[in-house]
Structure formats: structure tokens, C-alpha cells
Amino acid sequence: MTPDPGALLDLAVDVAHEAGRLVRDRRDAVDRITVSATKSTPTDVVTESDTAAEALIRRRLLSARPGDGLLGEEGATVTGGSGVAWVVDPIDGTVNYLYDIPQYAVSIAAQVDGRTVAGVVHNPASGQTWAATRGRGARLDGRLVRESGCDRLDRALVATGFGYDSARRAAQADVLRAVLPRVRDVRRLGAASLDLCGVATGWFDAYYERGLAPWDLAAGALVAEEAGVLVEGLGGAAPGPEIVIAAGPALFPALHDLLASLGASRDG
């Protein structure tokens, strides 16, 4: 039987709120959060809150729906047999969390046969929750959201992000140097899922980033698409690690062509 995306979303929202409380309570309990491990580079950090939140999310989702698969940023990989797989970032924006900058999120997406059908992005510091099911629009705290409609690159407020690897960051800085004079301004807030939700809500006109993992992207991309945003790679490719470009249809071609001309999907 095909799972109901609305039911998957309800479960994801409940679990994201529960994980968000854990993450926020742990942050409030101490002045400084301890780094428990590093991943790709010494600045790609993991805290005990990331690990504890992922364990909670995994436990709650799979006890409600045994048989589902799950892919989590902190290492959870469960191969399911139900056709539903969850893609989870327990804390997107871990560096913001470390510094107590209120710009991080619990991101949970439900995929059916590899396609995201429901997604939630919850910022436990602000209390805001974006939620979407495919074909039924995107909501921020229950209110429908829509992209800005911006149609001029030189008036566009563009969010972006950087990877953890220093060679990649140098290439990203070169691209940014060429983008900055051509747009209204640039924002780097530090959580890809919230950047995508920001485009969905009209807080930014566009977003691009190279190097995103599935857990950074899955839920936020659905929220953005359901708010009228095109979320793609270069030349109509699917968005992914090479590059993610998100903008409304009136702005997308100009940003896409600029990024393509700058080789933004390559590391220099």
C-alpha cells in the first residue's frame, strides 16, 4: 500500500519537534558545547547533541514505522523493505549550534522510491517549522509560503554556503567574488536547510551551494519546490553534491547561467 505523505509528514513534524527540544535543552544547559568528534576536516564537527538527536529520531521513526529505511548525517544507515526511507540531519548548522547562533535546524525528509514526498525543517532556537508534502504547498508554522518572485539578478539577495575543505572553500571564494558585484547582496547564514526554506519564504531570492549532502538538501528542497522555487543542478541536472541552485522561475536562468560560466560546480 502506498504510504500517505500527510501521515509521514505528521510523524516527521512530531519527531522533529521532540528532537528540537532535546537539542535546545542541551544547548541551554551549558555555556559551551563540547566537540565530541570531527569528520571530513578539523572544522567539520560533531557534538553529543548531534549524536543523541539522531538516535532519538531513528528510534522514534523506526518504532512508529518498522521496516522503513533511514540515512542520517551522523552515520545511521538502515536498509528498509517498505519503500519509505527517511533522510535525517539531526542538527543542520552544527557550527552555529556550537557558537549558540540561533540558526540551526532539525531536518527530516520522507522518500518513497527515492523521491521526497514529505519534509520538515524545524529551527528549535526560533521555534519556526517549515513543512511540506509534495503537491500540497509549503507552510511555515501553518501559513502557506511562496518565493519572492524576484526577476532581476542585480536586485537579488542570494544566500550561499561553503564546504569544510579548504581547497573547495578557495574555489567557492573565487565564485563568490564574481557573484557579489552582480547581485543585491549575499548572505551566509550557515544552515543549508534553512537557506532553502528562506528562499521558500521570500527571505532570500535565491541560494546556491556546492557540496551538499542528501541530509542537508532533502527536506529543504521539497519545502522550496512547493513554494514555487526551482531547485536544480546545472543544465537541468538533479540538485546534488556538484551544485544546488534554488531560485524562482523568473530569476533561475540568470543565476544558473552565471554560475555555469564561473565553473561553480568544480573545485577550481
- Closest distance to ligand IPD from the beta carbon of 16 (Å): 15
What are the two backbone dihedrals, phi and then psi, of residue 114, each rounded to the nearest 5 degrees? 85, -5
Of the pair 86, 162, the CB lying nearest ligand IPD is at: 162
- Terminal Cα distance for the chain, rounded: 47
- Minimum CB–partner distance for residue 247 and ligand IPD (Å): 17
Given the complex with ligand IPD, which of 20 and 190 has the nearer CB atom?
190
Closest contact distance (angstroms) between CB of 83 and ligand IPD is 27
In whole angstroms, the minimum distance from the beta carbon of 3 to ligand IPD comes to: 27
- The binding site for ligand IPD (CB under 6 A) comprises 73, 89, 92-94, 161-163, 190-192, 209, 211-212, 216
CA separation for the pair 262, 27 (Å, rounded):
40
Distance in angstroms (rounded) separating the CA atoms of residues 168 and 165: 5
Nearest to 145, CA basis, from 135, 130, 157, 155:
130
> Pick from 215, 205, 226, 203: which is nearest to 139 by CA?
226
Residue among 192 and 231 whose Cβ is closer to ligand IPD: 192
Nearer to ligand IPD, 205 or 216 (CB): 216
Q: What angle do CA 266, 248, 129 make, to 5 degrees?
A: 95
Minimum CB distance to ligand IPD smaller for 110 or for 244: 244
Least Å from the CB of residue 121 to ligand IPD? 11
> Judged by CB, which is closer to ligand IPD: 89, or 205?
89
CA 234 from centroid of its chain's CA atoms: 19
Q: CA nearest 90: which of 134, 62, 55, 41?
A: 55
Please give the DSSP secondary-structure letter assigned to residue 96: H
To ligand IPD, the closest distance from the beta carbon of 6 in angstroms equals 27
Helices within the chain (DSSP H only):
5-29, 48-64, 94-99, 166-179, 192-201, 214-226, 252-261
Taking the complex as a whole, the smallest distance from the CB of residue 107 to ligand IPD amounts, in Å, to 9
Q: Closer to ligand IPD at the Cβ: 92 or 205?
A: 92
